Chains A and B, each alone.
Chain A
Amino acid sequence: MATSKAPSADPKSSSDLPAEQPQQPKQQTLEEDDEFEDFPVDGTPPSPHWQADDTEATQNQQPQHLWEESWDDDDTTDDFSNQLKEELKKVEASKTKR
């Protein structure tokens, strides 16, 4: 059984992934532009001692609007759901034929 750490380590579990387990990404250094930027220190905003008013936390009064549940999608009218229903009907049909 695959462990929770490497779900696709089990060769059987990768249906449409490339045949082999994706390679362990090589250790790479971050690009220069990946570096966390300095905040100005000379008193121009944002100076190193900014006020609580200027923090991100105070900008969003409703932080719950920033994240949404990934698995409550009950919308069954989109293209993919319709496609799925068609597919399931085919399964049903082939079963009754037998």
Chain B
Amino acid sequence: MEFGPALYHEFGEAWKTRDGYRLAKTISPDLPPAQLSNIWQSANSAGNWKSARDDDVKAAIKRGLSSSPARLDGISQKEIKGWVEVYFAYWQATGILAEVQQTSSWTTAYEQWKVLINALIQGYNGHEFEAWTIPCLYVAGKHLRLFAMQADENTSVNDTSAAAFQDDFDPELQKHQKLEDCARVLNRVFSLCLSDRAPLEESRKWGLYYIINLLFKTYFKLNATGLSKNVLRILTAGRGDMPDFHAFPKSQQVTFKYHEGVLCFLEENYAEAEKHLTEAWNTCHKDAMRNKELILTYLIPCHLITTHTLPTEKLLEPYPRLQKLFLPLCRCIKKGELHKFDLALQEAEDEFVKRRIYLTLERGRDIALRNLLRKVFIAGGFEPVAKEGDKPVRRTRIPVAEFAAAISLGSEEKVDNDEVECLLVTMIYKGLVKGYISRERSIVVLSKSGAFPGTGV
């Protein structure tokens, strides 16, 4: 919407109805280039703004906002002044953004957008912006991050060859220069929301989770999980004086819980991770397939560790990518096909590592092994019944050689008995098998009551 009566009207209506999302739309950069260009071409009777002095443009915006057809009862001059700065920055940004596809000047776009978000921060600090306007911060923050990533991408394409000759060139630092800067700006927005002392119903604290989610995405990209944990710590400390988590929009709850869950997951705190991811899963919108897929990517390994459960085919049915990722492993675990499990893990190693689930899935080998041992036990059949009418008892003395044969099955290498004993001891230690090894007789004596805890036998 170019600067003119329509935009000023929109501002007035949004202000009058306290509709933050409506207001935020008036500073959206997410427009087709033609529309951005239209805004940039804004003019008034004195001529085209592009050739006017900054102060004249600001004066024109100020006249426009004050003269909004909707009567802005109670808006202060101070607040109007704040919005003039915001819209002025927006207008300048549209000039860059309208042509950014051709010029690739994402760095300039980022810098200009930073001017806008700073004008907003200034608005809350010194110009009496009210909390209902925080969706403007959402739009500003969201795009600041997107522009930063674009800028970094372009820089790495254009500059690396030249810069690489300099001695102090650090490619890692260079790679995310703008995104790191963006993280600092978002952190200021986070503090701005957190430090608001107004009563909760009109507090900027309602903006916290949106901003935190932006911070999480930024820190994840920067591989700075430690900083994400910091945010969580600050949040826990301030929780007593905050709106209830479940009063926030579900979209924000889900995004937050997903990241909180993944953070716990990366720390191998699987019980907590499962809790958060399950909540994210349950609250997620049913049509948000990609997000559901991402939640499951971490929830499935969690379930494997915490409850030894696997996803059913029904659960994976809508997600071909997850089927490809997990089904081979799941089948091997269930059947106890140890060797095939190793092959499946190797096969998809790159993908697992990329998703950071390799180490967790590797622990599924224990369960595959446990299931294999159980198969040997079941194949052993029953002891001869001593007396008519006695309940048949499974054979509980099993030669180590039988386990050795089972473990070697499918692979070229033969495992010797010492190795097998070592594996068995580990399984017993972990409580996955109950029994002991009689070394002198090379026999495993399994418990008569529940040799494999958790199942009937």
Contact B335 A16 (CB under 8 A): no
Tell me if A's interface is mostly helix, strand, loop or mixed.
loop
Contact A10 B21 (CB under 8 A): no
Contact B426 A2 (CB under 8 A): yes
* Most chain B beta-carbon neighbours within 10 Å: one of A2, A45, A67: A67
Contact A84 B422 (CB under 8 A): no
CB-defined interface of A31-65 with B at 8 Å, one 1/0 digit per residue? Answer: 11011111101110111111000111111000001
In-complex Cβ contact of B379 among A15, A88, A90 (8 A): A88
Contact A56 B284 (CB under 8 A): yes
Known: A67-B309, A71-B308, A84-B406. A15 touches B370 (CB 8 A): no
- B29-45 CB contacts (< 8 Å) to partner A: none
Contact A7 B365 (CB under 8 A): yes
When distances are taken between beta carbons in the complex, the residues of chain B under 8 Å from A20 are none
B374 at the interface (CB under 8 A from A): yes
Contact A88 B221 (CB under 8 A): no
The CA of A87 and the CA of B307, in the complex, are separated in Å by 31
B409 at the interface (CB under 8 A from A): yes
When distances are taken between beta carbons in the complex, the residues of chain A under 8 Å from B375 are 76, 81, 84
- B366-382 CB contacts (< 8 Å) to partner A: 366-367, 370-371, 374-376, 378-380
Contact B342 A17 (CB under 8 A): yes
Q: Would you give the shortest CB distance from B30 to chain A, in whole angstroms? A: 10
In-complex Cβ contact of A36 among B291, B312, B334, B405 (8 A): B291
When distances are taken between beta carbons in the complex, the residues of chain A under 8 Å from B314 are 65-66
When distances are taken between beta carbons in the complex, the residues of chain B under 8 Å from A84 are 375-376, 379, 406, 409
* A contacts with B, residue count (CB < 8 A): 66
Q: Would you give the shortest CB distance from A75 to chain B, in whole angstroms? A: 8
Contact B285 A56 (CB under 8 A): yes
Q: Would you give the shortest CB distance from A9 to chain B, in whole angstroms? A: 11
* B contacts with A, residue count (CB < 8 A): 98
Residue in B closest to A29 when the chains form the complex, CB atoms: B223
Q: Would you give the shortest CB distance from B260 to chain A, in whole angstroms? A: 12
Contact B285 A50 (CB under 8 A): yes
Contact A71 B367 (CB under 8 A): yes
Contact B423 A50 (CB under 8 A): no
Contact A91 B405 (CB under 8 A): yes
B199 at the interface (CB under 8 A from A): no
Contact B251 A39 (CB under 8 A): yes
The CA of A76 and the CA of B255, in the complex, are separated in Å by 44
When distances are taken between beta carbons in the complex, the residues of chain A under 8 Å from B250 are 48-50, 55
Known: A50-B285, A81-B379. A73 touches B371 (CB 8 A): yes
Contact A36 B309 (CB under 8 A): no
Contact A37 B290 (CB under 8 A): yes
Contact B138 A95 (CB under 8 A): no
Q: Would you give the shortest CB distance from B309 to chain A, in whole angstroms? A: 4
In-complex Cβ contact of B292 among A7, A28, A56, A95 (8 A): A56
Q: Would you give the shortest CB distance from A16 to chain B, in whole angstroms? A: 4
Q: Would you give the shortest CB distance from A39 to chain B, in whole angstroms? A: 4
B258 at the interface (CB under 8 A from A): yes
Known: A39-B285, A56-B281. A90 touches B405 (CB 8 A): yes
The CA of A18 and the CA of B37, in the complex, are separated in Å by 60
- B133-190 CB contacts (< 8 Å) to partner A: 135, 138, 142, 149
CB-defined interface of A70-94 with B at 8 Å, one 1/0 digit per residue? Answer: 1111101010110111011011000
When distances are taken between beta carbons in the complex, the residues of chain B under 8 Å from A54 are 285-287
Contact B135 A71 (CB under 8 A): no
Contact A69 B379 (CB under 8 A): no
Enumerate 5 A-B pairs (CB-CB under 8 Å) in ascending A order.
A5-B268, A7-B362, A30-B354, A65-B314, A78-B335
What residues make up the interface of A, taking CB atoms closer than 8 Å to B? 1-2, 4-5, 7-8, 10, 12-13, 15-18, 22, 24-32, 34-39, 41-43, 45-50, 54-59, 65-74, 76, 78, 80-81, 83-85, 87-88, 90-91, 95
Of all A-B residue pairs in the complex, the 5 with the closest CB atoms, nearest first, are A39-B251, A46-B285, A48-B249, A57-B282, A48-B251
